[in-house]
Chains A and B, each alone.
Chain A
Amino acid sequence: MAIETRERPRVSDEPQREPQLGAHLVLQALVREGVEVIFGYPGGAILPVYDALPYYPIHHVLVRHEQSAAFAADGYARATGKVGVCMATSGPGATNLVTGIANAMMDSIPIVAITGQVSQSVIGMDAFQETDITGITLPITKYNMVIRSVDEIGPAIQKAFYLARTGRPGPVLIDIPKDVQLAKGYLAPRQELHLPGYRPTIVPHRRQIRRAAELIRQAKRPLILAGHGIIISGATEELVRFAERTQIPVGLTLLGISGFPASHPLCLGMVGMHGHAHANRAIHEADLIIGIGMRFDDRVTGRPSEFAPNAKIIHIDIDPAEIGKVLKTEVPVVGDAREALRLLLEELEPLEHDDWISQIRSWYRPIRTEPSGPDGVLQPQYVIARLHALTEGKAIVTTDVGQHQMWTAQLYRCDIPKQWISSGGLGAMGFGVPSAMGAAIGRPEAEVWAVVGDGGVQMTLNEFATIVDEQLNVKVAIINNGYLGMVRQWQQLFHNRNYSETPISSPDYVLLGQAYRMPACRVTRPGEVDEAIQWARSFRGPALIEFVVNQEENVYPMIPSGGSFRDMIDDTQVEGEW
């Protein structure tokens, strides 16, 4: 490749002798921040940066739609813990990033989005491909900015990465007008940032920790609800020690999955709307809830007034605005989850809750995973259960949004932090395939499975081209039930089976795979499931399996939106061992 023959400019903090184009300074600043990968799509207003790109040790992944660039940067960030970077041109390039940025905002994912902008001389003139992207993304970014002069490039990019990854992480957008990319200047050395309005509390207040410890000591039926903050702060080890020492069972939010090992005897699995019945019942019966790195989302609480009606609340979160937002909180603890758990471990002696734990276990019923339904058709839950068994629970799993997402959350039992990648707060269909792409780029050694539905996959299946271009080790498992299944389930349960616009057709996925030069197969019978999964695992690189499953299977248990534990619908559970 031509790249290798070109001389790479040095990137260092030494003063530069000659002024350089802003576009080069942008890339130098990115390299200085440790950026190795950019997911992007070129266009007019970002062309100078693309012109300079081949000179830098950055792997650019050419996506097929900017939304996927943002989703891929998100998946990359979740799989690696590093800041993901996406890049697009002005106007439509920038607006196409919006859903991905909103997704990162809702799920506290550190990404930096770089957009080209029309030259400052025509900003405000409705120029070709001009859009006020900082205005548009104001409420869906942690911070955003326009770089107005070449001197600001270094400090702005340094600030963007710092803000994205510190405190409660989130997306930061940098809009760079074309004239700034084309102006000549110098890269300012990295310096201490002056951010008087931004001082995240990392170490919690000791007095709050003592108050929390006192409530924990007094509790008879305590329960930990662990969220995404455990994974972000790398607190899994501390959480395991804390749960073991205090013998408090752990329920996980959707994004908390993989933050506490599913195979741990104290793990109750997912809570909330489609959480395990025993886990939700434990919330209902608990006398103390310890929320750690989670935000009592409505998909967790249902109707807040009936959530954990007998419990006091300890809420540990790095974002003080989350504490008291939904529930009255007895002990607020502002700080990093890992720091908080460390301090709690210092305060607390071993505790026992044998009766409580055995009570919860007595409520346990496994989610059913029979291979086929009454009419012999393949059951989707069986597919997930087999995928978990055959990958030994070690794959990185991304999902789209809907029924398959919930079955995977219930049945792909994750033991390794960062192996679970799913769109939580925003619930963005189309996330599964591009996020798998990002994860596979960030973790090339890993086996990545994108479990997607036939609805969501059709939103971003253009990225099969990217996956094939990059020869990523992404295996796409399409759970095809011919419906927008979760919406259909709601229509069945709450809209009198009026299946308005939820039946959805699909292309021939095997032919489509062939068209993209992606090995593909179709599974329609339970007996073929293992063979297909083993086939996809037998080689490195992309693969696609379409699982044609029971069309009207529902996700259970289910607590209807705005309901409480008492409203739980749960007619599929079977007898089984803990």
Chain B
Amino acid sequence: MTVRSHTLVVLVEDKPGVMNRIVSLFRQRGFNIDSIAVGHSETPGLSRITLVAQGDDRKIEQLVKQLYKILEVIKISDVTDENPIQRELALIKVTATERNRSDIIRLVTDVYQARIVDATPDSLVIEVTGPPEKVDSLITMVRSYGIKEIARSGVIAMARGARVVAPTAQPVVA
């Protein structure tokens, strides 16, 4: 089976220690997390985690089953094969000089529809939102100017169309 990147949407009860349990599970069972992003969901008391992890289908199935055993995990949906909307936010601080500042600004705003959110005589902070590939691409393009700092939010994902990830289905645990 082929190893590929899976995007999992996980709904959890918003209680102390839940993130610890999830991260600990990854460590304990030898799974790697590429990206993890957490925030409130549409339902009060439920948080929504978007996890990106590498693995073949069998390994990911095992990961999902193990995650379900965490008491506070309500619902897990592997949206990888559904062409989900995936977005990431990044802040990138680059070195900018008198000479190249306008080049950077043009590249960032025209090509990537990103924004400059802070400027000093020798630096610019770029804010970019989009699929992770777009963020990667922008970072590659500005690398030659000199990157001082990068902060990425991790990917969040949502299925297209009417389908929702909601805590209605019956999870199975032991």
Contacts and interface: CB of A to CB of B under 8 A. Distances in A.
Contacts of B62: 321, 324-325
Interface in A316-357: 317-322, 324-325, 334
Contacts of A143: 71
Nearest to A163: B71
How many of chain A's residues touch chain B, expressed as a range? 20 to 34
Interface residues of B, number: 26
Nearest to B69: A321
Contact of A134 (B17, B28, B69, B174): B17
Given A139-B24, A324-B58, A197 B13 contact: yes
Contact of B174 (A135, A138, A167): A167
A242 to B, nearest CB: 22
Contact of A319 (B72, B171, B174): B174
B138 to A, nearest CB: 38
Given A318-B174, A334-B172, A197 B70 contact: yes
B6 interface: no
Interface in B23-46: 24-25, 28
Contacts of B70: 197
B74 interface: yes
A320 to B, nearest CB: 5
Contacts of B73: 197
Nearest to A196: B74
Interface stretch (A80-88, A198-206, A477-485, A513-521): A198-206
A317 B172 CA distance: 12
Interface string B45-89: 000000000000010011001101111111000000000000000
A138 B71 contact: no
A168 interface: yes
A324 B57 CA distance: 12
A139 B28 contact: yes
A197 B17 contact: no
Contacts of B167: 196
B144 interface: no
B173 interface: yes
B20 interface: yes
Given A320-B172, A324-B62, A138 B74 contact: no
12 contacts: A135-B20, A138-B21, A138-B24, A195-B71, A197-B70, A198-B71, A199-B171, A200-B172, A317-B174, A318-B174, A322-B174, A324-B62
Interface of B: 12-13, 17, 20-21, 24-25, 28, 58, 61-62, 65-66, 68-74, 167, 170-174
